[in-house]
Homo-oligomer: A and B are copies of this chain.
Amino acid sequence: MTEGKAIILLHCPDRQGIITDVTGFITRNHGNIVYLDQYVDTIDGHLFMRIEWELKGFFIPREHIKEVVDELFAERYGMVSSIFFSDERPRMAIFVSKQSHCLYDLLARYRAGEWDVDIPCIVSNHEDLRFVADQFGIPFHVWSIAPDKSNRTEVEQAEMDLLHAERISFIVLARYMQVNSDGMIAEYPHHIINIHHSFLPAFVGAKPYHQAYERGVKIIGATSHYVTRELDAGPIIEQDVVRISHKDTPDSLVLKGRDLEKIVLSRAVTKHIERKILTYKNRTVVFG
Q: Residues on A close to B: CB < 8 A?
A: 16-17, 19-20, 23-24, 27, 32-36, 38-43, 48, 99-101, 104-105, 108-109, 111-112, 114, 135-136, 199-203, 215-219, 221, 235-241, 243, 245-247, 249-250, 255, 259, 263, 266, 282-286, 288
Contacts and interface: CB of A to CB of B under 8 A. Distances in A.
A235 to B, nearest CB: 6
At the interface, is chain A mostly helix, strand, loop or mixed?
mixed
A288 B218 contact: no
Given A101-B109, A104-B108, A216-B235, 16 more contacts: A17-B27, A19-B33, A20-B27, A34-B42, A101-B108, A104-B105, A105-B108, A114-B255, A201-B215, A201-B217, A215-B236, A215-B283, A218-B237, A218-B239, A219-B221, A246-B285
Given A101-B108, A215-B201, A284 B246 contact: yes
Contact of A249 (B42, B203, B235): B42
Contacts of A235: 216
Contacts of A286: 218, 245-246
A113 to B, nearest CB: 10
A279 B173 CA distance: 39
A189 to B, nearest CB: 16
A283 B200 CA distance: 21
8 contacts: A16-B33, A34-B42, A36-B40, A104-B104, A200-B215, A201-B202, A215-B236, A245-B286
Q: Considering the complex of A and B, which 10 residue pairs feature the smallest CB-CB distances, nearest first?
A: A216-B283, A104-B108, A202-B202, A218-B239, A135-B135, A246-B285, A20-B23, A20-B24, A247-B288, A219-B239
A20 B51 CA distance: 13
Contacts of A201: 202-203, 215, 217
A259 B249 contact: no
Contacts of A216: 235-236, 282-284
Contacts of A219: 199, 221, 239-241
